[in-house]
Amino acid sequence: MAAQAALTLLDGKATPVSHVFDPKGARESVSGKQVAQWRDQNFTNREAFWSIKEEHADPNKNGVEKFRYVIDLPTLESPASGGTFAPPPTRAYGTMAVVEYWVHSRASAIELADIVAIVKNFTASAYVANAVTKREAAW
């Protein structure tokens, strides 16, 4: 099993900024899936921490194992101005992405490299960038 290491990823700013997602451990969930988590703690409040979660399910009876990645970038509520009481920061919403891989036990290393490359290149494509940032679906 691979050791959980820090992940360094660039954001989407005009001048990209590196974000270091520190490993926060792995555990087994009640459903039997292994779950690992990373957090970018370069924010002033834990409610604002960006996070990446990996869920891994061992191969099922058909020989298919699943990898699921959830990326969560929360936005905090802006407190109203005025008054002397400052409420604790709360999450307003999160911008999230989920990537799932179903890996058959019969798949070769080349087939696995192909699916990783296609997903990476698709999500990095101008089509996806426009679809999400301009909210323009294909239809």
pLDDT of residue 80: 67
Q: Which amino acid is at 23?
A: P
Question: DSSP assignment, residue 15?
Answer: S
pLDDT of residue 82: 65
- The answer to whether the beta carbons of residues 105 and 64 sit under 8 Å apart is yes
pLDDT of residue 25: 87
Q: What's the Cα-to-Cα distance from 121 to each of 50, 71, 86, 129, rounded to whole Å? A: 23, 17, 44, 11
The residue ranges of the chain whose pLDDT is under 70 are 1-2, 80-83
Q: Output the six-digit token pair for 61.
A: 């009876």
pTM value?
A: 0.85
Give dist(CA 74, CA 47) in Å, integer: 7
**Would you report the helix, strand and coil content of the chain in percent, each value rounded to 5?**
20, 40, 40
Q: Output the six-digit token pair for 100.
A: 């799932």
Q: Output the six-digit token pair for 125.
A: 């494509």
pLDDT of residue 44: 76
Q: For the beta carbon of residue 41, count every other beta carbon within 10 angstroms.
A: 16
pLDDT of residue 40: 94
**Listed residue (90, 11, 1) closest to 45, CA to CA:** 90
